[in-house]
Structure 1
């Protein structure tokens, strides 16, 4: 008799201590759970073995990437329902070990193990980053981490990002398109930096060249764009050539620590600082400070997490670290501002644009889902599933204020202290 779904639902509720907010559809065709709720599809017993071997987020992620788990119905609704059971409960291995002291939970785990069957454990999906955890954020490990995320095919990123090829938060007006919102974001950065014709801009983490091209074409600025991704650099150079901007824009495969041809009038760092790491952040800020002329401006556009009561206990997101941004780290915006000031900068402005990133991510997910079969052909089913889950979950995280994104404008104040009036870039709605 087909009853795997009922058994799974009952065991999960025993172990979690709360009713499941999703239905379960199991490999034997059985279903259980609240009618009309999104369904968690358990395609095989291997999904259970993955979760048992790596309880919490990483086990669920491995099952998802491998195709052992799926969602039937709206992905956002399913993630909203699951958030209170996984991400917001902190169901990591340590928490589960503590829960297993409860006889009811321990008995449920034994029953789940019997249902999962041998052998344990399954190999992780090939899309999972594998690297030593000892020395992070060296030039070598940073290059490898960047390659894991960005060197998955420019055609795939074109499908997701659209023609703008901007892989960071857009800046939305009501009714605007993704392309117009990304153009407005680039122009906002240029306005905050006060770019003028003939100036020199360093674009750190230049991606596929969109900021460099916009600054050169619209403001007559000479730009040096740096990235660690070979595929990004090749794509950006072709775009620069096609725009006829080779006399203004140079794209390099170069680590920010190796730039030695300053000073620059301005520096943009858009969606790059998340890769730097807490131990290297002061070095990063100090290097950018040294590359600026006195009076020069830095625009640091960076995702932030909420601060915790015990910052020493902070752990990176298992799924993001294993499949999306290996070695990436998020810091509270206050920490970022402090580190910039420690490096010598005067922070002049901080603009929070969290809601803008949620909308951006939903547009990227829509692009991916609209051309899903091609995405799978371009990058494989596992990688496409990684991107769909990560972007949808991130959209919800921005909407729920679990993470944010901020543009920090900082100045290398000249010795005289007079750096002119800051740029006027915002109009406040006081109604």
Structure 2
């Protein structure tokens, strides 16, 4: 079968009503498609079987994670060229076309079946989370398992990707030529200034990760910090860093669900990239819990990714690749819904800052670090896991660049009954 690429290209053209925008290289070494573009490498015929048994994004994801599919060339360019076909046109087709009833798609499916072989595909890659989730979504037990799937993949792996800052959220860039480390430091300081932290303030850092915000707040502002995470590996790493910094008298790290924190009130709460894990059903409870943990006049800084609203919100579907391989049970909400829920819980929203472009720069920096140390990254976790992280970070960078998703910092206050928020008349003093 020395012409597999040509046959694949022809079948793709039948399905798509037009040529693939990238070149194809098949398992037999043959190539077809436009020259000078990134090459979609189909390493094994079982990639086609995965697609036939799970058409669309999930089949593609499984083939990618297993190494049956790859890209030779610029991954960002390839994803940009394929985005409309995989996500936008694919979503429309799932809603409007039944492949068995459509004669053209049925013929193409038989062609793929003949080319890929009739055997069923192998089981999903081990990196897929679906088999490890049991019970109702967003119970404490299931949330802990979901967090473990994403974060307990090795501190050394995350150190390689994130760099010395060990901050796994959007940095705050002075410009595209700034260093990742400087941009993450500036983000932590921006949050500390928005919260108006001062000596001996009690700060609760919800989803504290590897302890970076806690260390910055204690070391630079003299705050007393409680950091909580559901990841045992993160907690162990954070405690070690805190001891090395000589800050054990000012920082406590707990493996604890936010719903179990009972030692308020706090002067301030930071929640940085954690609320995406809460879930739409639980978000009001999240807002209520944080409101109750703040003293009157206390501030919340909620740093959270947001999706764009759907014309019909009932049509919203969680991304299958992200749900199965990256953030199990994670959900994004539109900014307006997040603001409304915080207000319903009693918060007064005082400032919203969109930093969407900053996350694109951050993700590209992480991808560059991952690609520069690829053999080590694959060795520290697994080749499949490294492939998951490369794909999701590169695709996410493009999503932020094209305004498909955003990220916002919301400053909210538990304003006391007398209405005195404690904020100065010119509230953006943190601009410096």
* Same fold, TM-score > 0.5, yes or no: yes
Aligned to 1:85, the other structure's residue is in SS state helix
Q: 1: CA distance between counterparts of 2:225 and 2:141?
A: 25
Cα separation, 1, equivalents of 2:178 and 2:309: 33
Distance across 2 between alignment mates of 1:133 and 1:229: 18
SS in 2 for 1:233: helix
TM-score (norm 2): 0.97
What CA distance in whole angstroms lies between the structure 1 residues aligned with 2:23 and 2:96?
A: 22
Residue 89 of structure 1 and its aligned partner are, at CA, apart by: 1.9
Task: Measure, in 1, the Cα distance between the counterparts of 2:132 and 2:315.
Answer: 22
SS of the aligned residue for 2:101 comes to coil
Match runs of 1:15-414 below 5 Å: 15-91=15-91, 94-95=94-95, 97-129=97-129, 130-132=131-133, 134-174=135-175, 175-414=177-416
Q: Deviations over 1:212-253 (max 9, x none)?
A: 000000000000000000000000001111000011000000
Partner of 1:41: helix, strand, or coil? Answer: strand
Residue 133 of structure 1 and its aligned partner are, at CA, apart by: 6.5
Q: Let me know the Cα RMSD of the aligned residues.
A: 1.4
Mapped partners of 1:195, 1:379: distance in 2: 37
Do the aligned residues in 2 keep the contact of 1:57 with 1:92 (CA within 8 Å)?
A: no
Instruction: List gaps (5 residues or longer) in structure 2.
Output: none
What whole-Å deviation, never above 9, does each CA across 1:277-321 have from its counterpart, x for those lacking one?
A: 000000000000000000000000000001001111111000000
Q: What's the CA shift for 1:99? A: 4.8
Q: Which runs of 5+ in 1 are unaligned?
A: none
Please state how far the C-alpha of 1:427 moved relative to its aligned partner. 5.1
Cα distance in 2 between the residues matched to 1:67 and 1:374: 17
CA distance in 1, matches of 2:197, 2:157: 32
Q: What TM-score, normalized to structure 1?
A: 0.97
Aligned equivalents of 1:404 and 1:424: distance in 2? 21
Whether the 8 Å contact between 1:264 and 1:292 is mirrored in structure 2 is: yes
State the number of aligned residues: 428
Within 1, Cα distance between the matches of 2:289 and 2:152?
A: 26
TM superposition shift of 1:109: 1.0
Q: CA deviation at 1:17?
A: 1.4
CA distance in 2, matches of 1:27, 1:425: 60
Give me the whole-angstrom Cα distance separating, in 2, the residues matched to 1:415 and 1:78.
55
Is 2:271–2:303's contact at 8 Å kept on the other side of the alignment?
A: yes
